[in-house]
Amino acid sequence: MIATIQYNSKSYTIDLSKPLDISIPLRASKQNVNAWYIPEPKIEPVTDGQWVGKVTEGASTNFNTITFNPHGHGTHTECVGHITPEFHSINDTLKRFFFLAEVITIVPQEQNKDLIITKEQIQKAVTSDQIEALIIRTIPNDNSKHDKQYSNTNWPYLTEEAATYIRTLRIEHLLIDLPSVDKEKDEGKLLAHKAFWNYPQKIRYQATITEMIYIHPKTKDGIYFLNLQISSFENDASPSKPVLYKIVK
């Protein structure tokens, strides 16, 4: 299924039959990816007296209630409402869903017992000035990212300078394969979030951050089209399903 996209007065051809899903599925399991010191997700049938919403228990349908946290239990997309006193909804923020994007791979650098992603690394890795979305894959990169327990691990993070630089590139949508663009325990400073959204100076309300993605090692760095799909949650964040499409020509 071939589609042609007009983007900035240029035509791109993509094959819609070959999506590259970079989301992590949510499972009701202790092996579900997890961050921020919370229990695993739950997917449980509704009960009403003796009635259980499960076909194997005699019901006509499976009828589950799902309990999870979008920030801690998998791939999610968030808006500036994540850090503001006033409410902002990701459902109102993200109104367009296809973007020219670049995948880059970064080996975080050691600094004072932390692992950081620097401005200089971003400068060297980004090759296009036409992209609206930047997708960061960190090394090491293996399938353990599907079930990693991130709490109390001091994961790698973007420096404030790196996040500011990404903003100056006019990147509207930042995606990363970590639980947060910021340090796990930073005393609530959230320097990278604030720098990317330009908060509180001239807030970029239209910009989004997507965290906890997973890019397969066989997916090469380069330019793709990104389909950034969210659920219609009236919340600062929603579980999401970012999908990449290779550019055929």
Residue 151's pLDDT is: 98
Distances (CA, A) of 39 to 17, 81, 108: 37, 24, 28
CA 4 remoteness from chain centre: 26
Residue 133 structure tokens? 């979305």
CA distances from residue 136 to 43, 59, 158, 240 in whole angstroms, order as listed: 31, 45, 10, 16
Residue the block writes with tokens 């400073």: 189
Position 64 scores a pLDDT of 98
| pLDDT above 80: residue 58 | yes
pLDDT digits (tens, 9 = 90+) for 118-170: 999 999 999 999 999 999 999 999 999 999 999 999 999 999 999 999 999 99
Give yes or no for a contact between 151 and 37, defined as CB atoms under 8 angstroms apart.
Answer: yes
* Domains contained in the chain, CATH given: 2-27+70-246 (3.50.30.50)
Pairwise CA distance, residues 115 & 214, whole Å: 19
3-state secondary structure of 160: helix
Question: Is residue 206 pLDDT above 90, yes or no?
Answer: yes
Determine the pLDDT at residue 4: 87
